[in-house]
Copies of this chain bind each other. A is one copy, B any other.
Amino acid sequence: MAALNAINEFVIRFANVNGSGSASANVMFAKIVYRMGVPVAPKNIFPSNIQGLPTWFEARVSAKGHLGRREGVDLMVAMNPQTFAEDLADVVPGGYLLYDSTFEQRISRTDVNVIGVPLTRLCLEAFEDPRQRQLFKNVAYVGALAAFLDIDFEAVKEVVSLQFRGKEKLVGPNIQALELGRDYALRHYDCPLGLRVEKCDAVGDKIMIDGNSAAALGCVFGGATVAAWYPITPSTSVAEAFERYCERMRVDEKTGEHKYAIIQAEDELAAIGMAIGANWNGARGFTATSGPGISLMTEFLGLAYFAEIPLVLFNVQRGGPSTGMPTRTQQSDITACAYASHGDTKQMLLFPSEPNECFNMSADAFDYADRLQTPIIVMSDLDLGMNDWVCDPFEWDQERRFDRGKVLDAEALDKIEKFGRYRDVDGDGICYRTYPGTHPEKGAFFTRGTSRDNYAVYTEDGDVHAENLRRLNRKFDTGAKILPGPEFGQESQRSTIGIIYFGTTATAMPEALEQLEDQDIIVDTMRIRAFPFALEVAEFVRAHETVYIIEQNRDAQMRMLLMNECDLAPDKMKKILNYDGMPVTARFIAENIAAAVKPGARQGGVAAE
């Protein structure tokens, strides 16, 4: 039977039981690959419980930088007897299955290369402590993989010592466990296998980080001082990372005092209320949540829109509707966020695609929110937020200043005759605001969710209300100019076919484009980075005969925004929709587009409509 051969291009998947300590071993594996200079994209596919259920860790290894998810597993590390059959079935023909041969397993396929390593027995023999015996099984398979995949053992040791920085006494036993696996592999098998990891320098100075940590760091650099949040998967780590960074970077060295306030609220309604209160009072405040929290924040989002209070809200999207698939990824809160709240309400959105952009967009979001005096919702997702991604290191211009937008201080107030909070002085729909406490006589106004005139005085005058609503639309148009425009894959148009995508779909795109090119399908691409849309967005659609919009939701929500906000014809806007909770793959994109472009080509996975 043929065995797969590949260097630095494969998918490995670890099948474990959650709470069994496998997570850190699996991450260790990903880090080792990364340290060898080979790009790697790990993904945790975990259950919505704490301990005892099947969990998977998948790593795409690709020196070419194809880091989107890929169907099929080249090497399966099958540690969970409960899912063994299923895991075996997922291996591509010619692929490999590594399992714990301490226990007998029925192996029903002959087109897979099966490798047994008696991990449990090895650890039982080598360790005394029951907890260690359990934990080090995982470390031992990493050791075995080092042998099977021809990994430089020095790189392995390096990662171990880095991982246990500060807990040095753990280094020895870990290395022992690694060697246990490695030695067994070398002794019993022809190493390496057809799959190999080879040192290269495809990683450069890139870093490996999850999107939520990156976003949290962006908040620190963006000058956020108040964070209010309520725990919810997968956004919890935004607040938790913010706290960690603040403890490191924002505590006064002398006094131990904090230049930040973090409040774990009693629920999402309170969390967004606190963030609104902070922003109203002139601090930069944010909150982070996921689907159900977004729904609960709906009333307050309407208030912030209408009373024009800046606010940064991170929505780390998960599988909906309702509680849905809390540990899976989707891009399905776009409608819910863009038009959050009753009445004529529109919100502004940003769509980061990888951690570096999470960092920058989240810092920028505070400037946008202050300049546009409205909520800015950063639309991340579980895949981006909770998984580690290889990305460019973070950069910051230390000369950069916060742009607080149109705020009048006491001096400015002294110069004007009468302050009108909602007067559109500049014609861009954005009015001047003041922070509470600025001036003893001038600048105070009443913030309210009811209709009011230009001086913030309550009114029931319909014309004043209608004019105010029109001004808010003008402001929205200004937003389209201020927020980041789309990113194009080409300098100038080269095809009649356009592809539109956004967010984490970006990671699958280079590979999808290659696959399309292999079939002589040349397309133009545009990545949307913000809503409201810059003018170029509609132009791109108009300039192409057919446009495919790739989305990770059922209802083609971005397409609706495009149609509705840009008055684009529906016929040419084709839907490519993935909504099974797993990140979209290059093949899914390429096959569906190819099938549509050249009728007769194969179409796979969850259907395009």
Contacts of A469 in B (CB 8 A): 554, 579
A600: CB under 8 A from chain B? no
Contacts of A567 in B (CB 8 A): 570-571
Min Cβ gap A119→B in Å is 26
10 contacts between A and B (CB under 8 A): A303-B323, A306-B324, A325-B460, A343-B553, A344-B555, A465-B581, A466-B579, A469-B554, A473-B554, A563-B563
A335: CB under 8 A from chain B? yes
Stretch at the interface among A239-247, A287-295, A394-402: A287-295
Q: Which residue of B lies closest to A568 (CB)?
A: B570
Min Cβ gap A592→B in Å is 14
For A332, A462, A560, the residue with the greatest tally of chain B CB atoms inside 10 Å of its CB is: A462
A485: CB under 8 A from chain B? no
Contact B305 A322 (CB under 8 A): yes
Q: How does the 8 Å CB contact mask read for A422-461 relative to B, with 1 for contact and 0 for none? A: 0000000000000000000000000011110000000010
Contact A580 B466 (CB under 8 A): yes
Contact B563 A460 (CB under 8 A): no
- Please report the C-alpha to C-alpha distance between residue A330 and residue B344 in the assembled complex, in whole angstroms: 10
Min Cβ gap A123→B in Å is 29
Min Cβ gap A542→B in Å is 12
Min Cβ gap A270→B in Å is 13
A582: CB under 8 A from chain B? yes
Known: A462-B328, A466-B580, A564-B564. A342 touches B554 (CB 8 A): no
Copies of the protein in its oligomer: 2
Chain A, range 189-232, C-beta contacts under 8 Å to B: none
Contact among B335, B343, B462 with A582 in the assembled complex (CB-CB below 8 Å): B462
Contact among B343, B451, B554 with A336 in the assembled complex (CB-CB below 8 Å): B343
Q: How does the 8 Å CB contact mask read for A329-371 relative to B, with 1 for contact and 0 for none? A: 0101101100101111110000000000000000000000000
Contact B554 A323 (CB under 8 A): no
Rank and list the top 8 A-B pairs by shortest CB-CB distance, nearest first.
A320-B343, A462-B580, A321-B343, A322-B449, A323-B449, A291-B342, A295-B299, A567-B570
Contact among B294, B303, B305, B449 with A342 in the assembled complex (CB-CB below 8 Å): B294
A170: CB under 8 A from chain B? no
User: Other than the known A296-B298, A305-B321, A330-B343, what 6 A-B pairs have Cβ atoms closer than 8 Å?
Assistant: A48-B460, A298-B298, A303-B322, A321-B342, A324-B343, A332-B344
Contacts of A606 in B (CB 8 A): 463, 466
- Please report the C-alpha to C-alpha distance between residue A319 and residue B466 in the assembled complex, in whole angstroms: 10
Contacts of A448 in B (CB 8 A): 323
- Please report the C-alpha to C-alpha distance between residue A568 and residue B569 in the assembled complex, in whole angstroms: 7
Contacts of A306 in B (CB 8 A): 320-322, 324
Q: Which residue of B lies closest to A567 (CB)?
A: B570
For A307, A344, A450, A554, the residue with the greatest tally of chain B CB atoms inside 10 Å of its CB is: A344
Contacts of A470 in B (CB 8 A): 554
A81: CB under 8 A from chain B? no
A326: CB under 8 A from chain B? yes
- Please report the C-alpha to C-alpha distance between residue A47 and residue B462 in the assembled complex, in whole angstroms: 12
Contacts of A557 in B (CB 8 A): 344
Min Cβ gap A471→B in Å is 11
Contact A296 B294 (CB under 8 A): no
A327: CB under 8 A from chain B? yes
A302: CB under 8 A from chain B? yes
- Please report the C-alpha to C-alpha distance between residue A328 and residue B464 in the assembled complex, in whole angstroms: 13
Contact among B305, B336, B342, B564 with A563 in the assembled complex (CB-CB below 8 Å): B564
For A339, A553, A568, the residue with the greatest tally of chain B CB atoms inside 10 Å of its CB is: A339
Known: A344-B554, A564-B560. A324 touches B451 (CB 8 A): yes
Chain A, range 538-558, C-beta contacts under 8 Å to B: 553-555, 557
Contact B328 A336 (CB under 8 A): no
Contact among B298, B325, B449, B555 with A451 in the assembled complex (CB-CB below 8 Å): B325
Min Cβ gap A258→B in Å is 33
Contact A332 B343 (CB under 8 A): yes
Q: Which residue of B lies closest to A46 (CB)?
A: B460
For A47, A451, A470, the residue with the greatest tally of chain B CB atoms inside 10 Å of its CB is: A451
- Please report the C-alpha to C-alpha distance between residue A345 and residue B322 in the assembled complex, in whole angstroms: 9
- Please report the C-alpha to C-alpha distance between residue A306 and residue B326 in the assembled complex, in whole angstroms: 14
- Please report the C-alpha to C-alpha distance between residue A97 and residue B583 in the assembled complex, in whole angstroms: 70
